[in-house]
Amino acid sequence: MLKTDVFTPSRFTSEGTITLRGVKVPYKTVCEDNVFYDNDGKPIASIFSYSYFRSDVEDTKSRPVIFAFNGGPGTSSMMLHIGFLGPKRIKYRDIDDDTLPLPPYESCDNEQCLLDIADLVMVDPVGTGFGRLLDESKKDLFFGIEPDAEAILTFIQAWLARYNRWQSPKYLLGESYGCTRAATVAGRGSLGGSDRAFSVAFDGLILIGNTVNVGKFFHDKSPVYPAVLAFPTLAAVNWYHNRPSNQTVEEFVAEAKRFADTEYLLALYKGRSLDNDTREHIIQRVMYYTGVSREYLERRGLAVDDVEFRREVLRHKGRYVARLDGRITRPLYEPLMDEQEWGAWDDPSMGKYDPFFQSVLCGELFPMLGISWERNFVNSASLYKNWNNDIKGQNTSQSLATAMRRIPTMRTFFMNGWYDICTQIGILYYTLDHSDLPMDRVFVKGYKAGHMVYLGEDNIQETSEDVRKFILGQDPTK
């Protein structure tokens, strides 16, 4: 990775106030490198953290701390930081507006911030944001499911000691791959790592855009057809664009899932042995729920592929839907050969918000936090290309289940967007149905959103209120 500076461990502090729920909340911030050293005392890597402390609290033992990180792997905490959790956030426009917002990018005070009830720590893992890998020969200590989780645990232990917060309630909030990270961190915290015990107990996990046991990415040998697992999300996207019924999206998706779990699954299993009448019934139902054409289903043997779906569901309108947020579209390429070759990489949502988020983060929030240096901020790096997905111990759902068994008060809150084709809610349902998680302490909610459930003024109101309830020990789904 290209560098624009020489690494020097740094620490920045600031103070501020924000009005939350009618109360003026004073806070202080500490933004700093958390450096890892080899046995000779040479720095090899750094995790960068942004810590927000409410400054008028005397008893910190009972005050929760939320450690938050995004995913990738290779993504900084930018989206959660400036889009959801921090006291300053971007001002949202319509989510399905195909035009890109032009400078000057707008921000606002985040009146939904949780700083009144919890201290916040945003985390840039090694190789992301301001986090750095300083010795390329040591990358295997950080770039993989298990080493990444142990590095995060090591950082959390050091942070708890530095700020005397070992006795505080502790929460992990992960988005996308951050769910994999959080589940593994929780399991390793209670069970131990490759060569040591960590003994960090977490009170709860908030998981946005589930990646706990996502089959095709983490070698989970799921016997269920991918088309069945994807079906609820594909139905939601079809409902949003084509409105095949007057039902709510929740009602339509629930009906589509019942069909996929029964008739559709059996039909895919039977294949050519289906009789003609049954086959015609299945074709009609799949067309109704997903919006794809008869010609497509005939060509694909009735199975809808989630990548191909993105160019099929709105082909009649000449549009292509996004992977991260199926509400967002772009024009469909012509001729078709170009779409087949390049279309999957030209996702209309992936680049839509990055310039907006990074401009507000770097241009407004960092000066507010007192961050002043020439270190380049890496919003996202392609670490996933060489990420070590091998798991020697428990898989991610087993890690989470272990932690929840060992900590009988620990709770988990799954938050998924109906229109998220990237981490589909059907895979979450399947994971929960085939894990031994204590379901009396597991909460699940779907949102009228894509991968980042908080995008949009309405969504950030709802999601923030739900997370607030969860931190306060209430049922976030009610």
* CATH number for the domain that contains residue 164: 3.40.50.1820
* Strand-pair partners of 49: 32, 123
CB atoms within 10 A of CB 123: 30
How many residues make up the chain in this entry? 478
Number of Cα atoms under 13 Å in the Cβ half of residue 315? 17
Residue 350 has pLDDT above 80, yes or no: no
Q: Which residues of 36-51 are buried (b: 16+ CB within 10 A; e: fewer)?
A: beeeeeebbbbbbbbb
Asked if residue 393 and residue 263 are part of one domain, the reply reads no
Residue 1 covered by a domain: no
Which of residues 319, 345, 371 is at a domain's end?
345
Asked if residue 373 and residue 326 are part of one domain, the reply reads no
Residue 445 covered by a domain: yes
Mean pLDDT of the residues in the chain:
91
Residue 425 covered by a domain: yes
Tens of pLDDT along 401-446? 999 999 999 999 999 999 999 999 999 999 898 888 999 999 999 9
| Mean pLDDT score, 437-459 | 95
Q: How many whole angstroms separate alpha carbon 237 and alpha carbon 327? A: 7
Q: How many whole angstroms separate alpha carbon 461 and alpha carbon 256? A: 28
Looking at residue 136, what DSSP letter applies?
A: G
Tens of pLDDT along 154-204? 999 999 999 999 999 999 999 999 999 999 999 998 876 667 788 899 999
Quick one: tokens of 88? 């300053």
Residue 352 has pLDDT above 80, yes or no: no
Residue 476 covered by a domain: no
Residue 477 covered by a domain: no
Asked if residue 77 and residue 207 are part of one domain, the reply reads yes
Asked if residue 374 and residue 321 are part of one domain, the reply reads no
> What is the DSSP pairing of strand 132-133 with strand 119-124?
unpaired
> Number of structural domains, the chain?
2
Q: How many whole angstroms separate alpha carbon 74 and alpha carbon 344? A: 20
Asked if residue 124 and residue 16 are part of one domain, the reply reads yes
Which of residues 345, 380, 408 is at a domain's end?
345
Asked if residue 232 and residue 203 are part of one domain, the reply reads no
Which residue range forms the structural domain that includes residue 55?
11-218+352-471
Asked if residue 273 and residue 254 are part of one domain, the reply reads yes
Asked if residue 236 and residue 139 are part of one domain, the reply reads no
Asked if residues 78 and 70 have their Cβ atoms less than 8 Å apart, the reply is yes
Q: How many whole angstroms separate alpha carbon 351 and alpha carbon 217? A: 22
User: pLDDT tier at 216 (50, 70, 90 boundaries)?
Assistant: very low
| Cis bond before residue 147 (omega within 30° of 0) | no
Quick one: tokens of 245? 């019924």
Residue 5 covered by a domain: no
Asked if residues 135 and 37 have their Cβ atoms less than 8 Å apart, the reply is no
| Type and span of the H or E element at 54 | strand 43-54
Asked if residue 173 and residue 252 are part of one domain, the reply reads no
pLDDT at 462: 97
Residue 279 has pLDDT above 70, yes or no: yes
| Mean pLDDT score, 54-75 | 96
Residues 6+ apart with CB under 8 A from 127: 1, 74, 133, 142, 143, 378, 381, 383
Asked if residue 236 and residue 195 are part of one domain, the reply reads no
Amino acid, res. 412: T
Return the SS3 of 150: helix
Asked if residue 234 and residue 213 are part of one domain, the reply reads no
User: pLDDT tier at 218 (50, 70, 90 boundaries)?
Assistant: very low
Which of residues 345, 365, 392 is at a domain's end?
345
Residue 177 covered by a domain: yes
Residue 95 has pLDDT above 80, yes or no: no
CB atoms within 10 A of CB 99: 8
Number of Cα atoms under 13 Å in the Cβ half of residue 366? 20
**Nearest alpha-carbon partner for 384 in 128, 134, 204, 173:** 128
Asked if residue 134 and residue 55 are part of one domain, the reply reads yes
Tens of pLDDT along 221-241? 555 688 999 999 999 999 999
Tens of pLDDT along 106-135? 899 999 999 999 999 999 999 999 999 999
